[in-house]
Structures are given as structure tokens and as C-alpha cells.
């Protein structure tokens, strides 16, 4: 066998061994990586915790918040006495009953709904400045939330004319505005129990 042919065969054998070794290494690396990163189930205590949405939006809050919901997102169902805390906006509120919590697709608001009575809905959001509804003075009340002056707007839905109340308050230490909108018993309980996280 000529010397050059033997050199070519040895070179091809070395390249083939190298490629086979790399291929085997890839398969071993992937299976070891997958076994190391397998998801672990969450403890049951985490299921009852309410996630805090990250809320910081540059656009105004309007009725379209409800339209932005995506029902494929995670939902948390609670029953009994319910407490909702939004750490990024800096407030907490409490009320009785079951609720379904949904974050908007853009993450700028949270809608809390009683699954047994969809009319009992609370919408919360915060941003630097929230547009105030253009209402006559007789439909605006000054109220106090956790020792801070707030405005309660008695508004109606432009879609169906149903009543809707909106409370807008400025956070005393974070200085952004918070809106809580809704109507009915659940909304009134939430507004009454409202506390700032300072």
C-alpha cells in the first residue's frame, strides 16, 4: 500500500473517531443536562400565595383593561376571606368570598372577579398619573384610604350604562397613583379594607 494512501486512511479514521466522539458527547451532555434540570413540583403552601403583578404602565387606564385579559394565563382561585397584595403598587385589600385573579396580557393591571357572580369585579392598577373621569362635582366624593385623601368617582360603563365606582389615590411614599374600580358589596369591602404598604 503506498504511503500516501495509508496517510489518507489514517486521517479519515481520526476524523471519523473525532466526529463519533463528539456525537456521543452531545447525547450524554443533553441527557445529563435534562436530568439535572427536571422541574420539581411546587410545595402546597405556594399554591395559596397570591402573585404580585408588576405594574408600571405608560398608557392611561381605561375600560379596555377588561378587553386586554387573556384567559389562557394563570388564574388563582381563593375562597373564604380573601386578601390581595400588590407589592409593586404598594397596597393590600381584603374582602370575603371567592375570587378569580387575572393579570392583563401586558401585565399592567389585575382584575379580581367572583366566579359565582361576575358582576362583583375589582380592577386595580397603578401608574404615575391616572386619567380622571370627566364627571360633574356631584358625582365625585372625597374619601380617606388608610389616612390618605382619595377621590371616589361614581361613573357608568360606556358599554352598557351599568354603574361603576372608581377610587383614585396617590401612594404616600411611592408617589404614583392607584386606581381601584368596581361596584357592589365586594368593591365596598375592598375599599374599606385598603391599606398602603409603606
pLDDT of residue 133: 93
pLDDT of residue 56: 44
Q: What's the pTM?
A: 0.59
pLDDT of residue 8: 76
pLDDT of residue 153: 97
pLDDT of residue 155: 94
| Nearest partner of 123 among 173, 157, 171, judged by Cα | 157
pLDDT of residue 105: 65
Strand order in the sheet with 110-114: 76-78, 99-103, 110-114, 117-127, 177-182, 163-170, 148-156, 140-145
CA dist., res. 45 & res. 162, Å (int): 39
Would you give the distance in Å from CA 70 to the centre of its chain? 11
pLDDT < 70: residue spans in the chain = 1, 18-19, 23, 25-80, 98, 104-108
pLDDT of residue 174: 92
pLDDT of residue 38: 52
Residue ranges of the alpha helices (H) in the chain? 3-36, 44-47, 185-193
CB-based burial label for 4 (10 Å; 0-12, 13-18, 19+): exposed
Residue with cell 404598604: 197
HEC string for 31-68: HHHHHHCCCCCCCHHHHCCCCCCCCCCCCCCCHHHHHH
Amino acid at each position: 500500500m503506498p504511503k500516501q494512501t495509508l496517510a489518507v486512511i489514517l486521517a479519515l479514521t481520526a476524523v471519523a473517531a473525532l466526529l463519533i466522539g463528539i456525537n456521543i458527547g452531545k447525547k450524554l451532555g443533553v441527557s445529563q443536562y435534562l436530568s439535572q434540570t427536571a422541574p420539581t413540583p411546587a410545595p402546597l403552601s405556594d399554591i395559596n400565595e397570591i402573585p404580585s403583578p408588576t405594574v408600571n404602565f405608560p398608557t392611561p387606564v381605561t375600560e379596555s383593561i377588561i378587553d386586554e385579559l387573556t384567559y389562557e394565563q394563570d388564574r388563582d382561585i381563593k375562597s373564604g376571606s380573601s386578601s390581595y397584595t400588590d407589592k409593586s403598587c404598594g397596597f393590600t385589600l381584603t374582602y370575603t368570598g371567592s375570587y378569580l385573579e387575572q393579570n392583563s396580557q401586558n401585565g399592567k393591571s389585575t382584575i379580581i372577579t367572583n366566579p359565582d357572580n361576575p358582576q362583583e369585579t375589582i380592577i386595580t392598577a397603578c401608574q404615575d398619573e391616572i386619567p380622571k373621569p370627566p364627571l360633574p362635582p356631584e358625582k365625585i366624593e372625597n374619601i380617606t384610604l388608610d389616612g390618605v385623601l382619595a377621590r371616589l368617582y361614581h361613573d357608568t360603563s360606556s358599554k352598557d350604562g351599568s354603574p361603576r365606582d372608581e377610587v383614585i389615590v396617590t401612594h404616600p411614599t411611592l408617589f404614583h397613583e392607584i386606581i381601584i374600580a368596581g361596584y357592589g358589596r365586594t368593591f365596598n369591602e375592598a375599599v374599606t379594607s385598603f391599606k398602603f404598604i409603606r
